[in-house]
Amino acid sequence: MSTAIGFIYPDHAAEDDYPRAEKLLNDAGATVSLEVVHIYGTDLHAIPELLDLGSPEKLARGASLLTDKKPEAVVWACTSGSFVYGPDGASGQIADLADVAGVPASSTSFAFVNAAHALGIKKVAVAASYPAEVADLFVRFLAAGGIEVVSMASKGIDTAAEVGTLTPDQVLDFARAHDHPDAEAVLIPDTAMHTIGVLSQLEAELGKPVLTANQVTIWEGLRLAGFTDKQEALGALFT
């Protein structure tokens, strides 16, 4: 019987990372279904719009769309729409989501913190697609989770839709350019960016773990459901 994990994804950009990851997992012998539903708002990487995107009403709507999928866990698949609330607000956000979904819940922001802790990583480089004022909030969120950001680069892209158009080569170039010798891992925090297909190449070239938003979101959902199968194509986090 397949293990279903629910993901509430904002608008449309890189949601095809989820069926791609599902195929990789199931080709390796797993039996999982990664169920993605969508909620909608302005996809601008700006603080007021992100606060609205992650509102209780919108997440409750997402949870309702997953009801017939019977997920064993639900994850708010949006980094900026969770860390923008700060650690305490983001904790309340997922507590409310768990209440309405009736299953364990988390968000991409907490997935990054939990993934780094799982790998014993304390110092990271961040390659963020967001404008600087939004990316800075991610740095603060990581710091509150005990993770030091030794370097942070902001690509300054205003909308998730534009991030979703970045090619694999552009993603690779951005990550390569913003590694740091003191970083134990590179974090790429936008679920609007396609990264599942380039994880293996990134880690091979950089010689260290690379944590990306859709990757850690999937890992977090599986972790909450007690699923621990390995899959090398999904990076060091899954091995």
Task: Give residue-wise pLDDT tens across range 21-62.
Answer: 999 999 988 899 999 999 998 877 889 899 999 999 999 999
Residue 205 has pLDDT above 90, yes or no: yes
pLDDT on residue 213: 97
- With helix as H, strand as E and coil as C, how does the chain read? CCEEEEEEEECCCCCCHHHHHHHHHHHCCCCEEEEEEEECCCCECCHHHHHHHCCHHHHHHHHHHHHHHCCCCEEECCCHHHHCCHHHHHHHHHHHHHHHHCCCEEEHHHHHHHHHHHCCCCEEEEEECCCHHHHHHHHHHHHHCCCEEEEEEECCCCEHHHHCCCCHHHHHHHHHHCCCCCCCEEEECCCCCCCHHHHHHHHHHHCCCEEEHHHHHHHHHHHHCCCCCCCHHHCHHHC
Mean pLDDT over all residues of the chain? 94
Please state which architecture CATH assigns to domain 3-238: 3-Layer(aba) Sandwich (3.40)
- Report residue 105's pLDDT band, with 50, 70 and 90 as the boundaries: very high
Task: Answer whether residue 158 shows pLDDT above 80.
Answer: no
Specify the pTM: 0.96
Question: Does the pLDDT of residue 123 top 80, yes or no?
Answer: yes
The domain locations on the chain are: 3-238
The whole-number pLDDT of residue 229 equals 77
What average pLDDT does the segment 74-94 reach? 97
Give 160's pLDDT tier (boundaries 50, 70, 90).
confident
